[in-house]
Structure 1
Amino acid sequence: MTSAVRIGVGGPVGSGKTRLVESLLPLLAGVGLEVAVITNDLVTDEDARRVRASGLIDPARVRAVETGACPHTAIREDPSANQAVAEELETAVPGLDVLLVESGGDNLAATFTGELVDYWIFVIDTAGGDDVPRKRGLGLLQADLLVVNKIDLAPHVGADLDRMHADTAAARPDRPTVFTDLASGRGLAELFDLLVREARLPAAAAR
């Protein structure tokens, strides 16, 4: 059995991680890929329930991991719970191509271990402050792809998008960053094209 490509989605609370997962589901399905989702949170399955209720994926393909501790522990220090659920899904879904692993909301230090995912995305948002890129948290620095979300809110929260563009480029000179408004879909096509190409998804052959 060939393992699915595992893609991590991390970032602070409210940045748009679940929205990103929901945005990717129809795009991945649209190029014929079989997809499943794992959500992580402290003591709740709220994100998993939201994805199941979205109508975007068979609810049986969505599983929740309740970490019971700091959420990024289960995606970095001890990913065994996520690995076990990933293996269950790969058995339960014949021909599974892509597994999206969403981290619980956490601080800027959250990172995914390579033992769990093949590629990972870190999501921040303009409402969190335009100084976030200058803080250079490990998640922002090390992610394969950085997403700066909620660019539509920048004028309302006093965030300087030009400054954020410059600061993310300085912090990640060799890694891509995409600026998005996932609520409207702005920037999503660019994000998906990057994901298909850089994560080497089977969709690359279908596009």
Structure 2
Amino acid sequence: MHLDHPVITPHRHTYSAEPLRGDSSRRALRIGLGGPVGSGKTATVAALCRALRDELSIAVVTNDIYTREDAESLLREAVLPPERITAVETGACPHTAIRDDISANLEAVEQLEETLRAVDLVLIESGGDNLTATFSRGLVDAQVFVIDVASGDDIPRKGGPGITTADLLVVNKTDLAPYVGADLDTMASDARRQRGDLPVAFTSLTQPDGIRPVADWVSRRLAAWRTGAAA
């Protein structure tokens, strides 16, 4: 599906893309996290929850094709109370449920917001996909795309919509660079060439507070959302 192709969603969900609720209050900021299999999406979600849960009301929606594996991993790690984590089984290629037919994810998000009432941030994790994975703007307000050093330092220069258009590109597992022969400077340079002024964060989630660059970006995005600057 071409990125310029219009996304069609059921009519009863069209209000979900609007930043304001029916009572004119601002709904939760929705951030999607996509990226290839094994890049560290679930670990990034878990680390964000740990870093921000004391200051924000957070909920999570995970996507897997036929299982609830990622949600169950987050539940085992107790990154949030169980009622704040839910799963969507897409039954098809992961990008279908985050870009083409987003109704199942919208239902999951809306149910969480209705049940929990006051929610600041909803993290929506895609199932593992390729460099073409993008979220519908009817589902999320911003997209994070996660790649990892172990997949090769040529990944940023390969481009693809996930790398070139995501609001934040995360280059994860930087601690593995010496062991896989990856050049982080090359990855940074290639990412800048592909993304222009769009931000890039390098992370190592095995390090203390290794999620901090991403957590700080999320906090800034939420602050802008609350003031209406990032509608």
Relative to the length of structure 1, the TM-score reads: 0.93
In 2, Cα distance between equivalents of 1:130 and 1:38: 30
User: What does residue range 70-109 of structure 1 map to in structure 2 within 5 Å?
Assistant: 70-109=93-132
User: Secondary structure, in 3 states, of the residue corresponding to 1:76?
Assistant: helix
What's 1:149 paired with?
Answer: 172
What's 1:42 paired with?
Answer: 65
Relative to the length of structure 2, the TM-score reads: 0.84
Which amino acid in structure 2 is aligned with residue 64 of structure 1? A
Task: Tell me by how many angstroms 1:188 deviates.
Answer: 2.0
In 1, Cα distance between equivalents of 2:145 and 2:206: 17
Would the aligned equivalents of 2:202 and 2:213 in 1 still touch at CA under 8 Å? no
In 2, Cα distance between equivalents of 1:123 and 1:185: 19
For residues 147-184 of structure 1, give each alpha carbon's deviation from its aligned partner in whole angstroms, at most 9, with x where no partner exists.
00001111111111111011001111110001110122
1:166 to 1:98, Cα distance in 2 relative to 1, 3 A: same
User: Secondary structure, in 3 states, of the residue corresponding to 1:200?
Assistant: helix
Would the aligned equivalents of 1:195 and 1:201 in 2 still touch at CA under 8 Å? no
1:199 to 1:128, Cα distance in 2 relative to 1, 3 A: farther
Task: Tell me by how many angstroms 1:2 deviates.
Answer: 4.0
Aligned residues: 203
Q: Runs of 4 or more off by more than 4 Å in structure 1?
A: 201-204
Equivalent position to 2:148, from 104, 121, 125: 125
In 1, Cα distance between equivalents of 2:169 and 2:27: 25
Would the aligned equivalents of 1:196 and 1:203 in 2 still touch at CA under 8 Å? no
Structure 2 segments unaligned to the other structure (5+ residues): 1-24
User: Secondary structure, in 3 states, of the residue corresponding to 2:117?
Assistant: coil
The 10-residue stretch of structure 1 (7-16 or 21-30) with the greater mean CA deviation from structure 2: 21-30
In 2, Cα distance between equivalents of 1:100 and 1:187: 18
What's 2:31 paired with?
Answer: 7
Would the aligned equivalents of 2:28 and 2:120 in 1 still touch at CA under 8 Å? yes
What's 1:21 paired with?
Answer: 45
For residues 57-112 of structure 1, give each alpha carbon's deviation from its aligned partner in whole angstroms, at most 9, with x where no partner exists.
11111111000000011000111100011110011102011111000000010001
Structure 1 segments unaligned to the other structure (5+ residues): none
Q: RMSD value over aligned CA atoms?
A: 1.7
The structure with the larger Rg is: 2
